[in-house]
Structure 1
């Protein structure tokens, strides 16, 4: 253990503390990835549980539009009523299949009630010549319409302005303020079907992915990185201890061996002697002979010498 006493020096303690801090950071990052995986699994479970179920009548699902909870997302609901096309708004910067465009929101007056909900009819591409507006804006069916939608919770407000007639996010409270009449602002319906079907309609958003992502492998990688810090510290300590042993053995050999000289009596330069690695190996061997800690190689060499000198 004496050969590793240098580990108690401030320098090596400092390196160990740095490895510890790095490992703690890696543990937190690994846990963050695990938390993200759990959130992904919860979302997948909601999709599996709700997305393909039979539609629920609006009368039984009204509270989902008023205060939708996370577990209610993707619940299928059927409604009857009329669109209020004149009050529709666009939501800007919405992604769909690798492109950015708009989603079109239309208020929907539910038949037999005085309530109005928001329906997201789908996605519209931007105009190729003017990215500030959609390429087209198909009108919804007129008169009484039967629709099937999937519940999505309202989105929070974001600190970003939007042009007139557009929203930066599906913030239903802001939508209500712009309309001047009451809405159910807890959730909205994402279009699945409508009858009668229009000749042209916005593109329907794709089914959400059931892939959980690489979060588990990333978390394992962060834990591995934290362990590698300690492994590197231990390996560096081992190399340092071995180099110190070589230095001490070479110093002992230098004190014991006579000074080599050239033909004219001058000292032999270190560069002209054996390579440093060979000299260190010989010094280590002599140190083991002096201390009595012989390796298998030393014993074999001694046996060979004995056989040669018989």
Structure 2
């Protein structure tokens, strides 16, 4: 009797179901391990970034301004802000998770006509209007230490947001990404092909507030991996219940 019932699970119809369930199970397990691999990559990248922060700051000049070669390196630059040409980066959060913007200002390098974009840090969203940004103008020459990064490029996807001016305007005051080539079109000084993410102020209290470069999370990869493994476990349990139901069917 039991053998005849078990043979039901070896019929062509059930063999097709077994194959389909096995394929789905293997896909879920593969996705779970893929996310674990991404987690290891993220942790390795975080360690490399922390190690780079321990290196002495390089003096940034027009000669060594290679965003890809300097990516993640600590740099130092002297110059004067072009305050009137500041813009903001939209949809940025503070280290405590509060929505806001980042203030992005060109800094003209001492002794040259060239400038570099400096991400000076977080501001509350309601302070992104030009009249309010004027309160953060710095007229004196400054020395900035920060992390160098290559320009941010819009992904090749029709769903990726674009930086466009408002109707009737030519200047874009708020940007999604640090698009150096795009911002160059509305900046008087020639921009270096990179930008600088300013390091936090010693007192840690003033605005704009730079992000803490040591605050590097693992991202969502572990959570995603657990989700895929959970789905695989649920599939096994549900499929086992279906087979048990078939075996007990008269």
TM over 0.5: yes
RMSD value, Cα = 3.4
Q: How does 1:45-64 map to 2 (within 5 A)?
A: 45-59=47-61, 63=64
Partner residue in 2 for 1:212 = 218
Higher alpha-carbon deviation: 166-175 or 109-118: 109-118
Residues 141-172 of structure 1 deviation map (CA, whole Å, 9 limit, x = unaligned): 32432221221332223425355422232111
Aligned to 1:229: 235
For structure 2, the 5+ residue unaligned runs are: 155-160, 167-171
Q: How does 1:108-127 map to 2 (within 5 A)?
A: 108-127=107-126
Contact 2:78–2:144 under 8 Å retained in 1: yes
Structure ID, larger Rg: 1
Match of 1:172 in 2: 180
With over 3 angstroms needed to count, the CA separation of the structure-2 counterparts of 1:162 and 1:35, relative to structure 1, is: farther
Aligned length: 234
For normalisation by structure 2, the TM-score amounts to: 0.75
Which runs of no fewer than 5 residues in structure 1 stay unpaired? Answer: 248-310
What is the SS of the residue equivalent to 1:92?
strand
Equivalent residues of 1:115, 1:184 under 8 A apart:
yes
Change (3 A) 1:175 1:23: same
- Greater relative contact order (Cα 8 A, min sep 6): structure 1 or 2? 2
**Correspondence list, 1:1-310, <5 A:** 2-3=3-4, 4-59=6-61, 63=64, 65-68=65-68, 72-96=70-94, 97-127=96-126, 133=129, 136-137=132-133, 138-157=135-154, 158-161=161-164, 163=166, 164-179=172-187, 181-185=189-193, 187-192=194-199, 201-213=207-219, 215-216=221-222, 218-219=224-225, 222-223=228-229, 225-226=231-232, 229-230=235-236, 232-234=238-240, 236-237=242-243, 240-241=246-247, 243=248
After TM superposition, what 4+ stretches of structure 1 lie above 6 angstroms from structure 2?
A: none
Q: TM-score, normalised by structure 1?
A: 0.63
3-state SS in 2 of match to 1:12: helix
Answer 1 or 2: which has greater helix percent: 1
Q: Displacement, 1:238? A: 5.2
Instruction: Tell me how far 1:222 sits from its aligned partner.
Output: 2.6
Tell me if structure 2 keeps the 8 A contact 1:161–1:168.
Answer: no
Secondary structure, aligned partner of 2:35? helix
